[in-house]
Each structure stands twice: as structure tokens, then as C-alpha cells.
Amino acid sequence: MKIISTLFLMLLSLYAQKTLNVLTRNAPTTFYYAADGTKAGFEHDLIMEFAKDNGYKVHFIIKNSIKELIESLENREGDIAAAGLTSTQGRRKKFLITPGYYNVQEQIVCGHNKEPQDVADLKKYSIEIITKSSYVESMQTLKQKYPYLKWRENEGYTTEHIFNEIDKKKVDCTVSDSNIIAINRRYFPHLHVAFAVSEKRQLSWMLPRKSDSFKLHAQISKWIMKFKKSRKFTRIKDRYFAHTAFFDYVDISIYHKRIKKVLPKYIDSFKRAGKKYDIDWRLLAAQAYQESHWNPKAKSPTGVRGMMMLTLATAKELGVTNRLNYRHSIEGGAKYMKNLMRRTSDGVKNRSDRYKFALAAYNIGMGHVFDAIRLANKIGKNPYNWTNMKKILPLLADRKYYKELRYGYARGSEPVKYVRRINNYFDILRQYYKN
């Protein structure tokens, strides 16, 4: 009887949960569906953490543009807007604005050798920006000093759409937040930042000005101030933005070309191996690109060879008789990665992190990864998430630490770079192949 009462109370509690209607956009920096069909995105993850901590259910309302989203918030169609929005003077007059949680800066971004030096130079170029965006306010402010400044506004476009127009040479330049540019330069490698047109601002959530919003606004504001100091916030932030700080135009430009011209020859082999060993084939392809640039005859002075750059000893252990046969190499590399994922500590619960730990072991050896875990425990850091591990691994090159480790010295910064680059290649590949 007691068990039935407990279950009843639990069900009643779930039923009583208030639903938070969240206005957002479908974009790489806000909300999207991941490869496995789950919801993801920086704003999505933050909202879900707030909801979990405060007992809300969440209903996302997807809008196609900033204009639609702002108008929906004005019409009070949602409780909150979480869509990569910055606090501007105009928005502060209309909405309740939460404390900020991530710094961005509005920048002029152009493509294909369009290189304005300053605002006055913009008169030479065609500029397109999003209607109802903070960029419009910034440009209007600049126009007071530079009255000849002109631009075209698009109601239905997203920033990513305008980037595509720039890539096709239909538009010269646009204005965008720095975080959006950083992510999209991987997909549009011709984009380059000319200069900033605003001071640094913070992304914020916005609520309609209605009587029942003030209590929610106070609750969110208190939560944000606490949460943005937490390790969980750091992990979410790193998941979406840590790798964007590193950009190699030449490398990424070549990668885009090889995706179109080279990858199709090997794609079936990646898909077969991925299915067999339950690994996203695009991750395997990204790893192979980092290893060999999809060159099945690749070799290094250290003796590793083939598409997945297997050592002779590892190849024998995996049953690979010909490392230069790309089918054998891909199969062997996938099998090896599966083995490394199995050997990764049970403490690493997150699947994405498990793959990163396994990648680090592929690059530096599982012994050194275990050393890093032991070292993290010793200095009081949680060793079971990649956010911490990428800070611990470089310490393996510090004599203060490695002299007491079982496997000794290692160039621990190398696997961190290795994982970062593969993650970057993987993100780009997902834009070409959705599954």
C-alpha cells in the first residue's frame, strides 16, 4: 500500500510539473537534432539543465528566423526565448532580459577576397543582414556617423543562409556574432573576419513583459548566476565551442574538396565498418582523414602505414594482413577503436567522452591514458570527463608529474590536438552526410 501511495505521489508530481514553452531557432549554435535523433545545441542544453534543476517540462517552439522569433515573443507565444540573442537597447525596452552567460562580439564577415579595412570601406561592398536582429541596431548606430552606409535586410534568412550566399558570391559581407562565425567557418572556409562593429556582449534569454513573467525571470536570473560558475556549464560550453578557437584555412579548404572528390571511393567501407562495430562511420572517416588524409598508401618514419596508420604489431593483433589495403585498414582501425572503447574506464559514462578517451589512447596509448586518470585522481580532479582530461594529459610531459607515473613521459598535448581536429572534421562531415 505504501509503494502504491509513493508511485501515486510521483505521478502526481510529474503531472503537476509546469511546461516551459521555449522559443528558439534551428541552428548549430542554438538547437538542432544530432546524428542519433536526439535534441542538441548550446541553448537546448542550458534550457534542459534549468528545467531539470527547477522542476519544469520543456516544449520547444522552433522559429525560422530572428524576425519570427522576436515577433512571437512580442505576441507572448512563449514563456522564454533562448536562441543566441544579445541584450540591446531596443530589446531591453520590450522584454525582460536575464543575466548574460556567454560573451560574443558582432563582426563584419566577408568572403572570397572581399577585405574591407574599416566601416568607411564598407561602401564598396554589398551587405546583407537579418531583419529584427541586433545587427540592424548596430548598423543603424554606425549609419549616424557614416550616412552613406547601406545594407539589405532579409526577413526569412538565417545567418547560415547568408553565409551560403557569400560562399556563392551573391553577397560580399554580413554581420554576425563571433561564436556563429567560429562554428560556420568550418563549413564555409572562405569566410574571414574583417573587423568588429560592437563591443563584447553577452548572450541572454528574454521573456515577454507580462505579469507572470517576473517571477520566472527572477528564478532564471538566480539560476544563471550560479550555474555559469559550475563545471557542468564549462562542459556544455566546451562541447560546442572549445574546438572553434582553432582554424586552419588551408587545411579546412582542402578537406572540403576531398570530401567531394576522394571520400566517395571509400565511403562504403567506412559505413560497413561503422555498422559492424557500432561506431558512427563519419567519426571513423574523420579519424582516417586525420591519420592519412584518406591516402591508403600513407606511411610514416615510425612504421605506421595505411588509411588508419596502424603499426605492424597492432595490425597483426587485429588480423590485418595488408595495411595498404584500405578495406582491411578501415576494418582494422574500427575494430581497434571498439577495443579501446571497451577498455576505457567504466567511470566514463558519456558515450561522446568515451570515444574521445579511446581516440586519445589510439594516439598516445592506453597506458598513458590510464596514467592521466590516476594523475587526475591524485590532484583532486574528476578524471572521467573529457573537459578535465584534456587539461590533465599535457601534464604527462611535466617531470614533476611523469616521474611518478607507471608509463613515464608522454607528449600529452598531442592527443588533445588529435581529438580536437577529429571532432572538427566530424562536425564538418555531418553537414554533408546527415547519417
> Residues near 413 by Cβ (< 8 Å), separated by ≥ 6?
393, 394, 397
Q: Which residue has the cell 541552428?
A: 27
Per DSSP, the residues of 113-157 read T----SGGGGGGS-BEEETTSHHHHHHHHHHHH-TT---EEESS-
Residue 186 DSSP label: T
Closest CA relative to residue 204, chosen from 40, 91, 352: 91
Question: Is 404 noted as a catalytic residue in this protein?
Answer: no
Distance CA(350)–CA(341), nearest Å, equals 11
Alpha-helical (H) ranges within 186-325 are 213-227, 231-241, 249-261, 267-277, 281-292, 312-318
User: Residues 324, 315, 415, 227: what is their CA dihedral angle, to the nearest 10 degrees?
Assistant: 110
**Contact of 366 with 429, CB cutoff 8 Å:** no
Closest CA relative to residue 377, chosen from 401, 361, 408, 349: 401
How far out from the chain centre does Cα 310 lie? 29
Instruction: Classify the C-alpha dihedral 202-207-212-216 as positive or negative.
Output: negative
Closest CA relative to residue 270, chosen from 282, 257, 258: 282
Pairing between β-strand 32-33 and β-strand 39-40 as defined by DSSP bridges: antiparallel
User: Which is catalytic among the residues 291, 317, 331, 404?
Assistant: 291
> Residues near 85 by Cβ (< 8 Å), separated by ≥ 6?
66, 91, 134, 203, 204, 205, 206
| Residues classed as catalytic | 291
